[in-house]
Each structure stands twice: as structure tokens, then as C-alpha cells.
Amino acid sequence: MELKKLIMQRPMWLMPSSTPDPILLSVETVISRNLEKFPFPVKASLQQKNEIFSIVESAVQHRSILGEHPLSINLNDVNDLTKTVLFERDFVPIEMINGGVGSRGVILNDYSMALRINGENHIRLSHYSDGSDLQKSWEMVDTSDTLLGKELTFAFDPSVGFLLNRPDLCGTGLEITYTLQLSGLVYTETLDQVLSGAAQLGMSGAGKFRQGTDSWGGMFTLTGGNYLGTSEKEIREKSETAVREIISKEMEARDILFREASMEMEDKIWRAFGVLKHCRMLSVPQLLNLTSLIRLGLERGYVMDGLTIDMVNSITAAALQGNVALLLETVPTESAELDIQRATVVRTILEA
């Protein structure tokens, strides 16, 4: 896989789906592991991190776990543009980009799988999907984990399971993270209540791009799994049940919005469309907030110059920070330059 190909691909949460869902945008199935005889990344020395990176990289290549020609990226060796693209596509978190010393990064294949090295744990193996076949996602990470286990010795205790950076997370090492658009719950001011209920079911929720319940575009992630004493099957079943309940609550909130505040919502949606068509400066938060409103309108049957949800997702992807910076061939020191270019990109697409 080439870096240019990675940059030109949409993030999974903006990809076309085999079963289009206006709320569930993507699912990441994750297995985390640590290597025996090495301290956790937060305690590892620079030399130890370099050694861990090399050991894991060699194991991945020897077993062809991520295909014949995976792309290995050490964050120490890439520029800010590449780091931005990796963050926008969920391959590395901002904490991993900004913090720590020593080798850390990610190995990628054709986009559906990624193996993160020296993040919170030594290994974080992920499969990205649209959520239509979670069993397949689980089988892919499980198979890759088994192959890795033939090359590496994982930290394991028979009484608690796989050892992770936090004692309360020890166990199977499995987590499932769902990306959802919960604009209805945001506008009806019922999001906190719903996320509190999800927490009681073992799910942790947070804004996709910001902490807490404040998120651009109503985008949120819900993560469940890896509880001590819980099997992989139980984790998958509990997580899916909780997310389906949240999706149901979001649909109820949208029905209430368009029934009790239909004119206000219609005004918001058409204003969003007008701004995108005529703006001369556009920040990433504005982009996500406006395109999310248009998605709501299209989902409710509004006809907007032939737009579809997939077209709106394509526009969003084209105008994200990494893609716009690629057009400028650098990350400018002044954010206004990016905002001007982003507005031009969006207008050009809508006028085509």
C-alpha cells in the first residue's frame, strides 16, 4: 500500500456502505496485546520502544498478516501532513501523535486493517467495517491475532487473561468501537441521558473529534468490550445490543425534531446548504456541522440539487484537513489559508 493511495481514500466513517445507515457510520473491531518481558509503552525506554517496534514489524512481515506489501509508518519519520491523515482516518489518536518518544506508529494494508504499535499497549490490531458483518470482522482480527501469537509471546495471566495497560481492561483484549451520528439526541438535549444509560450497559461514549458530549457534526464513538471475565462472544452481543438501543433512541429524537420543530430544522438544513454553496472560508468544525445537517435533511427526504448522502460524504472527505493540505502541498502556519482552500474545494464540487 502506498501513502498516496491512503491519502486519496475516504475515512471508513465516510465510505459507501453495503447497508446504508444514516446513524451507524462505521465499526472498528480491536484486539490489544502486550509483549511478555517488556514494560508497557508508558514505562518503556526509548531503546525498548525501538526494539518493540522492530520485533512486531518483523512478525507482521514474516506471517504476511497485513498482506504482502503492508505500509509501515513510524511517526518519528513522517511529516505533519501524514500524521493529520492518519488521525482523520482513525489509524492513530492525537495522543499518540503528540506524546511520547521512541518508535511508535502503525502498519496498514489496503485500508480495512491496521496494527498500531506502542500506543496505549504494545499492539492494537483493528479491522474497520461498515458494521454489516461483525462476525467477519471478529474472525479477521482473531485470525491475525493467532498468527501474531505464533511469532510473539504475549503477556498473559491464567487468572485474568491478557495483561493490558489498565488492570480493569485485562481479559480478552477485545473492544468494539462504533462511530455514530447522533445529531437528533444533541438537538433534543437528551444525549447525556442516553450515554448514561449506555454506560450502565458497559459502553463508554465520547465525541469523535472532541472530548465529552461536545462533538463536531454530532459525531460520537461508543466503545464496549474487554471486561474482566467476559468472553468475546458476550462482548460482541452486549455491544451490539447497546448500540441498537442507542440507534433506536436517535431515530425517536429525529422523529420528535421533525414533528415538533419542523420549520426550525428545515431552516437549519437549507441554511447549511446555502453556506456550503457560497462560503469563502470554511473550518473543519463548520464543515462537519453543516454536512451533518444536510445528511439529516436527505435522510428525511429533502431534495437538494440531486445530492445523496454518499455525495455529501465524498464532499466531507475531500475537504478534511489532510486532503486540503495535500492540495496546498504543505500544512500552512495560518489556518485561514486552509479554510479558504477548503471552501473552494466544497464550492467546486457543488457547482459541478
Q: Render 297-311 in DSSP notation, one character per residue.
A: HHHTT---TT--HHH
Closest by Cα among 171, 112, 118, 119 to 139: 112
Distance from the Cα of residue 281 to its chain's centroid: 26
Range 14-21 average pLDDT:
75
Q: Do the beta carbons of residue 219 and residue 288 sit within 8 Å?
A: yes
> Which pTM was predicted?
0.90
Residue 246 pLDDT greater than 60, yes or no = yes
What integer pLDDT is reported at residue 101 of this predicted model?
77
Low-confidence winner among 192-196, 198-202, 348-352 (lowest mean pLDDT): 198-202
Helices and strands (H and E) in the chain: how many: 13, 10
**CA–CA distance, 162 with 194 (Å, rounded to integer):** 31
Q: Do the beta carbons of residue 172 and residue 238 sit within 8 Å?
A: no
- What's the pLDDT tens digit per position in 149-178? 999 999 999 988 999 988 877 889 999 999
What integer pLDDT is reported at residue 267 of this predicted model?
97
Residue 213 pLDDT greater than 70, yes or no = no
Q: Do the beta carbons of residue 119 and residue 96 sit within 8 Å?
A: yes
Range 31-57 average pLDDT:
95
**CA–CA distance, 204 with 114 (Å, rounded to integer):** 22
What integer pLDDT is reported at residue 18 of this predicted model?
66
> What single DSSP character describes residue 171?
B
The most confident of the ranges 17-31, 33-47, 122-136, 313-327 is: 33-47
What integer pLDDT is reported at residue 322 of this predicted model?
77
Q: How many residues are there in the chain?
A: 352
pLDDT greater at residue 106 or residue 64: 106
Mean pLDDT of the chain: 88
**CA–CA distance, 245 with 222 (Å, rounded to integer):** 12
Residue 64 CB contacts under 8 Å (≥ 6 apart), including other chains: none
The most confident of the ranges 52-61, 62-71, 129-138 is: 52-61
Low-confidence winner among 33-37, 83-87, 249-253, 325-329 (lowest mean pLDDT): 325-329
What integer pLDDT is reported at residue 329 of this predicted model?
67
Q: Please give the grid coordinates belonging to residue 228.
A: 474482566
Look at residue 165 and give its three-state secondary structure: coil
Closest by Cα among 206, 175, 213 to 192: 213
Range 28-44 average pLDDT:
94
User: φ, ψ for residue 214 (rounded to 5)?
Assistant: -110, 110
Q: Do the beta carbons of residue 320 and residue 206 sit within 8 Å?
A: no
Residue 210 pLDDT greater than 60, yes or no = yes
Give the count of beta carbons closer than 10 Å to the beta carbon of residue 351.
Answer: 8
Look at residue 87 and give its three-state secondary structure: helix
**CA–CA distance, 137 with 129 (Å, rounded to integer):** 7
pLDDT grade for 22, boundaries at 50, 70 and 90: confident
Residue 4 pLDDT greater than 70, yes or no = no
Range 9-35 average pLDDT:
86
CA dist 87 to 36, 69, 105, 209, 305, Å? 29, 22, 11, 10, 32
What integer pLDDT is reported at residue 331 of this predicted model?
61
Residue 321 pLDDT greater than 60, yes or no = yes
**CA–CA distance, 177 with 41 (Å, rounded to integer):** 22
